[in-house]
């Protein structure tokens, strides 16, 4: 399979270790691209909801694939989010081509770019963490229930249905929160001279030109790999919002070496790589 060469790929909110994670589809996507920079913009591993009894093989394959990309020359930037905040104690640590950060700034074709997860704007995360965690478990259950519903719908020849999207769209506070989130991120970016501001966290893939009295910037959100299955791609001085469901990739396509490795072999390979 021919890989698409890209300058930057941004993914976020994968939530490895939860029932809702589409690890197989993400693995297919990662095998279809060859980025110079891979930016993991928070909540890649869901440490909040981590269970020893649930971390499937294809979730390990995603981790192994990311490590393999780094060993083949891709620079990997792991930006911490709220669900993997435990990794913040390792901020500014680098292991080969893998860098752990709380935020990332860079220039893309001369344009200042600011990349961070986005939970810094979320008062519920900052001040009532236990409520936020409870909400996370409820969301995970909702996604699992939605999978069963969609299984029946597909068998009956009906279109899939998103329970969480329906709830978000019908709750005015949720709609306002998303709009406020985008405005605050864009206003801060413009104030500090950034032309691109890139977030995750709210599971809402987006590319919007934001303008205020002080200037303009492009607000981008990489979405998630729970419902939307989206990524941001930068190439030839342009950003594109990638949707897996609009692609013709076969789910669970992966490298042959990953396919043949069993669970213990994958775990051993990841552990050994991490010790180098």
Domain with 101 in it:
4-117+163-275
Neighbours of 247 (CB within 10 A): 13
Summarised one tens digit per residue, pLDDT across range 212-238 is 999 999 999 999 999 899 999 999 999
Strands 98-101 and 196-199: unpaired
Rounded to whole angstroms, how far apart are CA atoms 276 and 260? 23
* Phi, psi dihedral angles at 108 (to 5 degrees): -115, 110
Structure confidence at residue 270 as a pLDDT band (50, 70, 90): confident
Residues forming a β-bridge with 103: 116
Is 100 a domain residue? yes
Q: Flag whether 155 is in a domain.
A: no
Sheet with 196-199, side-by-side order of all strands: 103-108, 111-116, 196-199, 215-221, 206-212
Q: What is the mean pLDDT of residues 102-123?
A: 91
For residue range 66-79, list pLDDT tens digits in order.
999 999 999 999 99
> Is residue 105 in some structural domain?
yes
Q: Is residue 62 part of a domain?
A: yes
- The gap from C-alpha 209 to its chain's centroid, in whole angstroms, comes to 21
What is the average pLDDT value for the chain, to the nearest integer?
A: 83
Q: Is the pLDDT of residue 245 over 60?
A: yes
User: To 10 degrees, the CA torsion angle through 53, 55, 58, 62?
Assistant: -170
Tokens of 29: 């996507």
- Determine, yes or no, domain membership for 47: yes
Q: Are 175 and 169 in contact (CB under 8 A)?
A: yes
The answer, yes or no, to whether residue 50 has pLDDT greater than 70, is no
Q: Structurally, how many domains does the chain consist of?
A: 1
Q: Please, which residues have CB within 8 angstroms of residue 215's CB and are 6 or more apart in sequence?
A: 190
Radius of gyration of the CA atoms of the chain, in A = 18
120 confidence band (pLDDT: 50, 70, 90) = confident
What percentage of the chain has pLDDT greater than the value 70? 75
In-domain check, residue 113: yes
Helices and strands counted in the chain (H then E): 8, 12
Q: What is the CATH number of the domain that holds 104?
A: 3.60.21.10
When comparing pLDDT for 209 and 166, which is higher? 209
Regarding predicted confidence, which is higher, 53 or 57? 57
Q: What share of the chain is helix, strand, coil (3-state, %, to 5)?
A: 40, 25, 30
Binned at pLDDT 50, 70 and 90, residue 269 comes out as: confident
What Cα–Cα distance (Å) separates residue 218 from each residue in 23, 80, 119, 121, 221? 29, 22, 19, 18, 10
Residue 153 confidence (pLDDT): 65
Give the predicted TM-score (pTM) of the model: 0.80
Query: pLDDT tens digits for 82-104?
Result: 888 889 899 999 999 999 999 99
pLDDT, position 18:
87
Roughly what angle, to the nearest 10 degrees, separates helices 263-275 and 57-71?
A: 40
- Rounded to an integer, what distance in angstroms lies between the CA atom of residue 88 and that of residue 130? 19
């Amino acid at each position: 399979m021919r890989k698409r060469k890209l300058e930057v790929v941004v993914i976020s909110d994968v939530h490895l270790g939860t029932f809702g994670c589409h690890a197989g589809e993400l693995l297919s996507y990662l095998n279809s691209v060859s980025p110079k920079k891979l930016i993991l913009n928070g909540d890649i591993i869901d440490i909040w909801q981590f269970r020893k009894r649930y971390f499937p093989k294809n979730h390990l394959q995603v981790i192994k694939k990311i490590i393999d990309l780094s060993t083949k020359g891709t620079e990997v930037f792991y930006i911490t989010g709220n669900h993997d905040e435990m990794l913040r104690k390792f901020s500014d640590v680098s292991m080969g081509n893998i860098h752990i950060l709380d935020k990332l700034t860079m220039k893309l074709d001369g344009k200042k770019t600011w990349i961070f997860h986005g939970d810094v704007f979320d008062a519920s995360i900052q001040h009532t963490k236990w409520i936020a965690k409870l909400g996370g478990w409820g969301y995970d259950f909702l996604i699992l229930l939605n999978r069963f519903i969609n299984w029946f719908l597909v068998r009956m020849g009906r279109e899939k249905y998103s329970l969480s999207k329906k709830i978000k769209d019908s709750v005015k506070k949720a709609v306002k929160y998303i709009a406020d989130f985008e405005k605050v991120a864009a206003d801060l970016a413009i104030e500090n001279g950034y032309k691109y501001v890139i977030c995750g966290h709210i599971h809402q893939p987006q590319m919007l030109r934001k303008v205020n009295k002080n200037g303009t910037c492009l607000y981008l959100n990489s979405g998630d790999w729970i419902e939307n299955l989206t990524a941001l791609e930068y190439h030839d001085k342009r950003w594109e919002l990638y949707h897996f469901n609009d692609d013709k990739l076969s789910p669970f396509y992966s490298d042959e070496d990953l396919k043949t490795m069993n669970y213990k072999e994958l775990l051993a390979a990841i552990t050994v790589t991490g010790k180098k």
